[in-house]
Amino acid sequence: MNKERKLIVAGNWKMNKTVTEATALVESLDRDLGTQTDVDVVVCPPFTALDAVSAKLRNSLIKVGAQNMSENDYGAFTGEINAGMLRDLLVHYVILGHSERREYQQESDAMVCSKTKAALAAGLKPIVCVGESLAQRDANETEAVIGGQLQGSLAGLDAEQMKGTVIAYEPVWAIGTGKTATTEQAQQVHAFIRREISKSHGNEIAQTIRIQYGGSVKPDNARELLSQPDVDGALVGGASLDAGSFSDIINNTRN
């Protein structure tokens, strides 16, 4: 699978895995993947396991990501974690604006944008999520919804900041449902996202930024999805909780 942009596959563990379970998973994953360099691999454990997972992967090619962070640098924000704290744990990536955060915590595009800027300022690579609900897709509002999310979540980012950003398209209707966008549907939306970025930040940035697909990605559909010209990786949920399954996804997409 020869692509101009290097594929990036990230596992979002959500609220799963104790510290013991998390370290066992990454030990197995690191062993399975060996020294492959074809795909950038990221694991995103819950906050409680970040320190232990980072320690296990200190000499690995697998990078560690967080599932969220505060837009604030420090202060009286009970229960929050800032970018500096993540950097201190050798975290490289952070997922921002996931549909579950947008829905359950009512995170707005403006908040996602603030978090994105805070992450970039601290040297973290944000994975900014966008996606439409089933009702919005059925109403033919996919492009309007995603276009608005892109505009709001990336507002004010300059070219250099965009280079350090990953976009994840996650159709809400395909997350944890077993439903998956067809390769044609995924490609159409990814191409639309790239066109929107070209309008806002120029064609050079649009052609270099990586756009992941997230939504019930599994070993048996990963290669076909990621073979699409504008699909540059995957944000994997449930299938990333098993080292063998996650390794299979990565290996199935390698050159």
Report, as residue numbers or ranges, the catalytic residues: 98, 170
| The two three-digit tokens of residue 84, written as one number | 């500096």
The CA-CA-CA angle for residues 127, 52, 116, to 5°, reads: 20
**Rounded Cα gap, residues 241 and 43, in angstroms:** 10
**Rounded Cα gap, residues 225 and 34, in angstroms:** 24
Q: List 96's β-bridge partners, or say none.
A: 128
Instruction: Report whether 90 contacts 54 (CB < 8 A).
Output: yes
**Rounded Cα gap, residues 149 and 86, in angstroms:** 25
Instruction: Report whether 119 contacts 125 (CB < 8 A).
Output: yes
The secondary structure of 179-221 as a DSSP string is ----HHHHHHHHHHHHHHHHHHH-HHHHHHSEEEE-SS--HHH
Instruction: Report whether 163 contacts 202 (CB < 8 A).
Output: no
**Rounded Cα gap, residues 175 and 50, in angstroms:** 24
**Rounded Cα gap, residues 251 and 125, in angstroms:** 23
